[in-house]
Structure 1
Amino acid sequence: MRFVLAVLAAAVLFGTTGTSQELGPDGTTPLAVGAVRLAIGGSALALLAAGAAVLRHRRRPPRPRLSAKPLALMAATAVSLFVYQPLFFLGTSANGVAVSTVIALGSAPVLAGLLEWLLTRRAPGLLWSAATAVSTIGVALLALGGGAGGSADPAGLAGSLGAGAAFAVIAVAQRRLLDAGWHPFTVVGAMGGGSAVIAAAALPFTDLGWMADPRGAAMALWLGLATITAAYALFTWGLGGLRAATAATLTLGEPLTASVLGIVVLGEHLSALSTAGIVVLGAGLVLLASGRPARPALPDSSP
């Protein structure tokens, strides 16, 4: 259960992303916010992983060999985390926080389950299938209901779906690295450090004038340290005791959180159909969380 709770806690932190961006100053762009978020959060993740590695070094556990395959998987997580940022913020700016977050993270469990099934030739399981089916119905109701106007921008919808695909790649790639014996902090540190390098290369091509605003600085720190560093550390640690498909479904707590924050904090209005979708989505999460983890935790001596 502690792995389930860790992923759910990560999902709640993830769910504050869109609202934080909306409460920030004017003049921001999806690329600028995403790049700054990763430069701060990814660097902190890398430092966290480095510190954990120093503490583990005294025990000198056996380490898996760093070959082309794990390097490729680590690179895939870094690139996917970077790509996720502008796609996600494009969706929130076009269709609102509540609906776009639901579409982005609602598509991730299905895509992660199918990708994991394709790579491992092992079906995710009956509980995951039932919980994901219920959750997907909730996501569909939210998407069909849209906002108060009942319509969704096609470009924003494509951005949200692309963000969901990027998150699915992260979950599956990290799960395979954990299966190979890599420590969760090593996995998340590689992703954070790699994405921070990519973000740093993109920063010169973005307008960062909004960072001079105190609200902009506060938004950047929260997005980086809370929704990247803390959230992905919790998510990857929790993933060590769960299958990728299960963890991805649990992250549907993110759109649930985002929907509530969008309504309560931002004053967004959802249709009756979308409200029903939130209720159904919550039921799917409860169903999945009530089951036993599909995979035992990795040993603490993993490198």
Structure 2
Amino acid sequence: MENYHDNFKGVIAIVIASFLWGTTGTVASYSPDVSSLAIGAFSMGIGGVLLVVTAQKKLFIDYKLMLEQPRILLFGGASVAIYPLAFYTSMRFSGVAIGTVVSIATAPFFAAILEHLISKKHISQQWILSFVIGAIGIALLTLGRDQSNNTAYSINQQGLGILLGCIAGLTYAGYSWAARRLIESGVHSKASMSGLFGCAALLLLPSLWFTGDNLFSSSTNALVSLYMAIIPMFLGYLLFGFGLNYIDASKATLITLIEPLVATILAVFIIGEKFKVIGWIGVALVSLCLLMQTIKPQNQLRLAFKST
């Protein structure tokens, strides 16, 4: 019973974080004159600094333990730094819904591969089935976009946006895996996430010297920049790190399929992106995938993890 409650707490934390992340594309669309690289660097960089400030006590306790694992720390930090640049540029090239969908849909696949190849962990049949359902739903959602409303995006832009979305999915899975590995080694979740994001901030914030000209050129741009850094990045990743205390990276990244659902709904009703019926069938399948991950604990998976 205790394991079930712990699992439930982890799931709820990541669901809330995913909802906050789902607002980023729509909010960023209100600053079209700001570079997607600048939005990504500022939001993740400032969010990283805030995470370091709020977790400084945990960092002071655990920093030696993290430094004993330099490869994991550097890999996770680099993944955090690359992720927002690829993610926001993907949305700029292919649209909010598709950019978000591809980025998040590919993350569980990469996370499972990392856990299997590096951590030697096994994936349950329930996870595989839910992933297949989610993947089909994501494909239908992408194919169901009304192209008549997509004249602003060329075929080359769409292709580049999808490629960048895959890179975002890989790096998302990468830092989720790294954070989980640090937590499993005894590092507190706050120290783990803030350590990775602090490393990324050292790479991201200096880049604003070249890309951040319009971040605060208007009140709208300023509000967008601050919202992105404080709400989805800072608060969202606090919740995500908390959730990783109780569930594994492959499951966490699969639960975040709620993010493209939120992003799609906001893109349709606020930005005006349109989808056909087949796209909404995809939404239903992704929702089913999410329910499969939240209603019943993966006892088989947890036992496999305990035996490694």
Instruction: Please give the TM-score of this superposition, normalised by the length of structure 2.
Output: 0.88
Q: Does the aligned pair in 2 maintain the 1:127–1:291 contact within 8 Å?
A: no
Query: Which residue does 1:234 correspond to in 2?
Result: 239
Query: Which residue does 2:3 correspond to in 1?
Result: none
Query: Which residue does 1:128 correspond to in 2?
Result: 127
Query: Which residue does 1:60 correspond to in 2?
Result: none
Query: Which residue does 1:301 correspond to in 2?
Result: none
Query: Which residue does 1:36 correspond to in 2?
Result: 42
Query: Which residue does 1:77 correspond to in 2?
Result: 76
1:209 and 1:72 map into 2 onto residues whose CA distance is 35
Query: Which residue does 1:274 correspond to in 2?
Result: 279
2:191 and 2:293 map into 1 onto residues whose CA distance is 28
**Inter-CA distance 178–295: structure 2 relative to 1 (3 Å threshold):** farther
Q: Which stretch shifts more, 197-206 or 243-252?
A: 197-206
Query: Which residue does 2:208 correspond to in 1?
Result: 203
TM alignment of 1:50-69, pairs within 5 A: 50-52=56-58, 66=65
TM alignment of 1:1-303, pairs within 5 A: 1-24=8-31, 26-52=32-58, 66=65, 70-149=69-148, 153-292=158-297, 294-295=301-302
Q: CA RMSD in A?
A: 2.0
2:146 and 2:208 map into 1 onto residues whose CA distance is 33
2:19 and 2:293 map into 1 onto residues whose CA distance is 16
Return 5+ residue gaps in structure 2 as ranges.
1-7, 304-308
How far the C-alpha of 1:127 sits from its partner, in A, is: 1.6
How far the C-alpha of 1:277 sits from its partner, in A, is: 0.9
**Inter-CA distance 216–295: structure 2 relative to 1 (3 Å threshold):** farther
How far the C-alpha of 1:295 sits from its partner, in A, is: 4.5
Aligned length: 288
Deviations 1:98-152 (A, max 9, x none): 1211111001011101111111222221221111111111011122233434886
1:67 and 1:166 map into 2 onto residues whose CA distance is 19
2:212 and 2:205 map into 1 onto residues whose CA distance is 13
**Inter-CA distance 156–64: structure 2 relative to 1 (3 Å threshold):** closer
* 1:164 maps to amino acid: G
1:67 and 1:260 map into 2 onto residues whose CA distance is 39
* 1:192 maps to amino acid: F
Q: Does the aligned pair in 2 maintain the 1:64–1:181 contact within 8 Å?
A: no
1:295 and 1:196 map into 2 onto residues whose CA distance is 33
Query: Which residue does 2:306 correspond to in 1?
Result: none
Q: Does the aligned pair in 2 maintain the 1:148–1:271 contact within 8 Å?
A: no
2:58 and 2:225 map into 1 onto residues whose CA distance is 25
* 1:231 maps to amino acid: G
How far the C-alpha of 1:254 sits from its partner, in A, is: 0.6
Report runs of 4+ in structure 1 exceeding 6 Å deviation.
none
How far the C-alpha of 1:179 sits from its partner, in A, is: 0.8
How far the C-alpha of 1:23 sits from its partner, in A, is: 1.9
